[in-house]
């Protein structure tokens, strides 16, 4: 993991917290914002869910994710109709993410999107779902299912929220994923080339050039494609000669007149 990535994601998590709003309110009327304004006279901070949320958020922002997760779970169970339950649902997913339990975080982010489709934190939630797939991506010589899922998720984010503060990072990661997919195709093509299967190699190289023309592997793919086209041509000539010898009577081969 890039050492700067956790810091960036914590900043994004803070931003999402500021966007997580109840009842269509904003600014000083935001319940989330008021969690951190204990001196505000119009806010009652005596409720159990309020004090629990404050404690959980303190644990969350100091990196004590397991403790925060336990409290958020209690809030969601005890106060399911409280605004703090919405925060708890999101932070439960975040706690899983920062504990590197990405496969457990994904369904929690997806559930939040289903339960709160109009919540202001949805751009962040989609970004974090994509971030789980991003962290689960494998090397170019392995299965690329998570790379495809990462790209699809970030494209959904860019399509629905092109001006969100997460768009720039999502675009960068999409390009990173496309380069990985192109490298995967090149590795497969090289394997076909090594095993003397030029037709299959050519098909994979043409696929790479058609689907990922903006990636850094294009020049390598074109060079290998040219080589494989030459190999295929030579192979076809050898095959034609072999077939000609089979179908030509033996006596014509020794007496061609």
- The CA–CA distances, whole Å, from 110 to 50, 83, 106, 147, 161 equal 25, 19, 6, 18, 17
Helix 65-78 and helix 83-98: axis angle, to 10°? 150
pLDDT value, residue 231 = 75
From CA 214, how far away is CA 223, in angstroms rounded? Answer: 16
pLDDT value, residue 27 = 35
- How many other CB atoms are found less than 10 A from the CB of residue 82? 20
User: What's the CATH fold of domain 5-136?
Assistant: 1.25.40
Contacts of 110 (CB under 8 A, 6+ apart): 129
Token pair of 228, please? 């494989």
Residue labelled with tokens 């962040």: 124
Token pair of 102, please? 């990405």
**CB 76, CB 52: distance < 8 Å:** no
pLDDT value, residue 16 = 57
pLDDT value, residue 254 = 53
Task: Single out the residue of 66, 115, 120 nearest to residue 94, CA to CA.
Answer: 66
pTM higher than 0.85 for the full model?
A: no
**Domain spans of the chain, in order of start:** 5-136
Q: What is the pLDDT of residues 236-247, one digit of tens each?
A: 545 555 544 455
pLDDT value, residue 48 = 87
Q: pLDDT of the chain along its 257 residues, tens only?
A: 555 555 556 556 655 555 553 333 333 333 333 433 334 333 333 458 899 999 999 999 999 999 999 999 999 999 999 889 999 999 999 999 999 999 999 999 999 999 999 999 999 999 999 999 999 999 999 999 999 999 999 999 999 999 999 999 999 999 999 999 999 999 999 999 999 999 999 999 999 999 999 999 999 999 999 999 987 655 554 555 554 445 545 555 555 44
Task: Single out the residue of 161, 134, 170 nearest to residue 149, CA to CA.
Answer: 134
């Amino acid at each position: 993991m890039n050492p700067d990535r956790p810091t960036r994601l914590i900043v994004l998590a803070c931003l999402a917290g500021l966007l997580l709003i109840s009842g269509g309110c904003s600014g000083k009327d935001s319940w989330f914002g008021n969690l951190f304004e204990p001196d505000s006279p119009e806010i009652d901070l005596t409720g159990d869910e309020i004090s629990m949320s404050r404690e959980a958020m303190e644990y969350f922002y100091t990196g004590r994710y397991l403790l925060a997760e336990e409290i958020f779970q209690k809030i969601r169970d005890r106060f399911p109709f409280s605004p703090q339950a919405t925060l708890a649902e999101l932070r439960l997913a975040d706690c899983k993410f920062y504990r590197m339990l990405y496969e457990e975080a994904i369904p929690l982010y997806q559930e939040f999107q289903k339960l709160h489709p109009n919540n202001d934190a949805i751009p962040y939630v989609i970004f974090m779902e994509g971030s789980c797939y991003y962290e689960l991506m494998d090397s170019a010589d392995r299965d690329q299912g998570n790379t495809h899922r990462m790209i699809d998720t970030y494209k959904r984010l860019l399509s629905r929220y092109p001006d969100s503060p997460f768009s720039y990072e999502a675009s960068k990661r999409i390009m990173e994923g496309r380069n990985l997919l192109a490298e995967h195709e090149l590795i497969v093509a090289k394997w076909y080339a090594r095993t003397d299967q030029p037709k299959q190699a050519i098909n994979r190289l043409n696929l790479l050039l058609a689907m990922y023309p903006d990636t850094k592997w294009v020049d390598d793919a074109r060079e290998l494609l040219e080589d494989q086209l030459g190999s295929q041509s030579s192979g076809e000539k050898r095959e034609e000669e072999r077939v000609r010898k089979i179908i030509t009577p033996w006596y014509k081969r020794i007496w061609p007149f």
